[in-house]
A and B are shown apart, each in its own frame.
Chain A
Amino acid sequence: MSISAANDMSIFSLVAGASLPVQMVLLVLIGTSLFSWWYIFIKLATIKKAETNAEDFEKAFWSGGDLNKLFEGLASSRRKPQGMASIFEAGFREYVRHKQQTTMDVSDVMEGSRRAMRAAYNRELDDLDAHLPFLASVGSVSPYIGLFGTVWGIMNAFRGLSNVAQATLSQVAPGIAEALVATAIGLFAAIPAVIAYNRFASSVDRLSVRYESFMEEFTNILQRKS
């Protein structure tokens, strides 16, 4: 009966023959997958950049050069400093500003620059954490969306069976195959998102630890200076 339909099982005809809800699910999943991969590549690039920036800045900072010169270089550059450099810049700017007012106590100066660094650190961390919640959502939800499409498609396939006297596998097989495409795409979207989320979360954690330790060390240096 539906042998001719079953013969042409290309993935395109499967998708074209699916019911509207299944097609919507497929569309949503493909969109989600594209976005999650886009964010994955963006995050790969930005996190790698932040790591190299931190490395470069630490090298420059611990090279024993003049901190004033380092600050001048960062402040005069056309680009806004990022990562560790922006934390240093915020802390040092606050320190210099308080230092000019000689009436202030040393502990107050240290407290002020610490607060400025904490604010810069939070901003940096927010940038580093960007898109990670999206990846986490895709990783946990898209298998369910795919499963929904599959269940819907299989429901349709079995409902079609009720109209025929003799149920054969060839009557349900195309429906089940097209329904399973939804699960496949859902998994394809979810697996990279989960892997990327875990990897990026640990990278961000390590970066934040690095930033925090830098903040502590820099506070010590400033305290010694004043």
Chain B
Amino acid sequence: MIRTYEKEVSWKAGGLAIAVHLALLGALLISFNWKAAHTTLNVTEVELWDSIPNQTAPAPEPVVQPIVQPEPKPIVKEEIKPEPKPIVEEKPKEEPQVDIALEKKKKALELKKAEDQLKKEKALELKKQLDALKLEALKDDAKPAVKVNKPNDALKKLQQEALAEEKTAGEQQALSSKASANAGVVGEFKNKIQAKIKGNVNKTLCGEGNPELRFDIGLLPTGELSGSPKLVKSSGSAACDEAVERAIMASEPLPLPNDPSLFSQFRNLNLKFRPND
């Protein structure tokens, strides 16, 4: 290794060699900031939309809440107020439904009409009763207040009946409006998914014309694909099909609504694409 005459300097040289390496290591540690710079990595994903996705769900019609006066107090004067108006006001609410039914089926229309008729009759009856009661009440005007109680009770009952009817109708309306709102969200996100995929399609591969494709895709709650997309209807060009399939893969994660209860509608999607649209 080393010659005998070198022995006297070997220790000194070894120490110097180690010192040089330590100096280099020190310089390396000081001069380089070995901590990576991207500690604050904030990715913001932005989707660009050509147009606002159309809200497929019809906006729920404003429910006309008939203002029902509070129960009549046993003061005779106020008896005129609680007219059974709510029964009359039910009509406009019923009408749009009838319209839709008309478009759909005639039978349903007839049924509805019959129901309407029935309701009208009932309302008429109620009105008659009320009128009678009113008359009675007017007759009893002169009588002491204690006696007024009885006709008032009947009036109250009628009022409550009408109110209950109103209430159930309102609940139904609310339920249907919620369902339609959900349908709107589902439609919106389906549109978003389609738009995101379409943005990734290499349109040049689909050539001229307007080919249409259908893909079945399965989604996970994270927005990722649960499997590879299945081609249901080909565009006729394999390159175009592959381009769309690649676009679907590249679009992961797909946008999903925040409400987890809606996810069941996204588990399996059948999507239609027109890349050249």
> Which residues of A come within 8 Å of B, CB atoms?
3, 6-11, 14, 30, 33-34, 37-42, 44-46, 82, 127, 130-131, 165, 170, 188
How far in angstroms is the closest Cβ of chain B from A40? Answer: 7
Contacting pair B12 A188 (CB below 8 A)? no
How far in angstroms is the closest Cβ of chain B from A146? Answer: 15
Contacting pair B39 A46 (CB below 8 A)? no
Which residue of A11, A45, A82, A127 contacts B28 across the interface (Cβ within 8 Å)? A11
B14 at the interface (CB under 8 A from A): yes
B9 at the interface (CB under 8 A from A): yes
Contacting pair B36 A41 (CB below 8 A)? no
Q: Chain A: which residue is nearest B250 at the CB level?
A: A166
Q: List 8 A-B contacts (CB under 8 A).
A: A10-B35, A11-B34, A34-B21, A37-B16, A37-B20, A42-B6, A42-B9, A46-B9
> Which residues of B come within 8 Å of A, CB atoms?
2-3, 5-6, 9-10, 12-14, 16-18, 20-21, 24, 28-29, 32, 34-36, 38-39, 41, 249
Contacting pair B6 A46 (CB below 8 A)? yes
Contacting pair B39 A7 (CB below 8 A)? yes
Q: Could you tell me the distance between the alpha carbons of A29 and B271 in the complex, rounded to whole angstroms? A: 59
How far in angstroms is the closest Cβ of chain A from B56? Answer: 33
Contacting pair A41 B41 (CB below 8 A)? no
How far in angstroms is the closest Cβ of chain A from B43? Answer: 11
Q: Could you tell me the distance between the alpha carbons of A34 and B17 in the complex, rounded to whole angstroms? A: 6
Which residue of B3, B29, B36 contacts A9 across the interface (Cβ within 8 Å)? B36
Q: Which residues of A contact B18 (CB under 8 A)?
A: 34
Q: Could you tell me the distance between the alpha carbons of A13 and B264 in the complex, rounded to whole angstroms? A: 46
Q: Chain B: which residue is nearest A46 at the CB level?
A: B6
Contacting pair B5 A127 (CB below 8 A)? yes
Q: Could you tell me the distance between the alpha carbons of A127 and B3 in the complex, rounded to whole angstroms? A: 8
Q: Could you tell me the distance between the alpha carbons of A41 and B2 in the complex, rounded to whole angstroms? A: 12
Contacting pair A38 B34 (CB below 8 A)? no
Which residue of A10, A33, A45 contacts B13 across the interface (Cβ within 8 Å)? A45
Decide: A45 near B12, CB < 8 A? Known: A9-B35, A37-B21: yes
Q: Chain A: which residue is nearest B25 at the CB level?
A: A11
How far in angstroms is the closest Cβ of chain A from B21? Answer: 6
Contacting pair B12 A41 (CB below 8 A)? yes
Contacting pair B17 A40 (CB below 8 A)? yes
Contacting pair B17 A38 (CB below 8 A)? yes
Contacting pair A130 B3 (CB below 8 A)? yes
Q: Which residues of B contact A127 (CB under 8 A)?
A: 3, 5
Q: Which residues of B contact A40 (CB under 8 A)?
A: 13, 17
Q: Could you tell me the distance between the alpha carbons of A42 and B16 in the complex, rounded to whole angstroms? A: 10
Q: Which residues of B contact A33 (CB under 8 A)?
A: 21
Contacting pair B5 A7 (CB below 8 A)? no
Decide: A46 near B5, CB < 8 A? Known: A3-B38, A9-B34, A188-B24: yes
Q: Which residues of A contact B249 (CB under 8 A)?
A: 165
Q: Which residues of B contact A41 (CB under 8 A)?
A: 9, 12-14, 16-17
How far in angstroms is the closest Cβ of chain A from B13? Answer: 3
Q: Could you tell me the distance between the alpha carbons of A14 and B32 in the complex, rounded to whole angstroms? A: 14
Q: Could you tell me the distance between the alpha carbons of A125 and B100 in the complex, rounded to whole angstroms? A: 113
Decide: A38 near B36, CB < 8 A? Known: A33-B21, A82-B5: no
Q: Could you tell me the distance between the alpha carbons of A188 and B25 in the complex, rounded to whole angstroms? A: 11
Decide: A42 near B2, CB < 8 A? Known: A34-B21, A37-B16: yes
How far in angstroms is the closest Cβ of chain B from A74? Answer: 16
Contacts A11-B34, A188-B24 supplied; 4 other A-B pairs, CB < 8 Å = A6-B38, A7-B36, A38-B14, A41-B14
Q: Which of A41, A82, A188 has the most CB of B within 10 A?
A: A41
Q: Which residues of B contact A34 (CB under 8 A)?
A: 17-18, 21
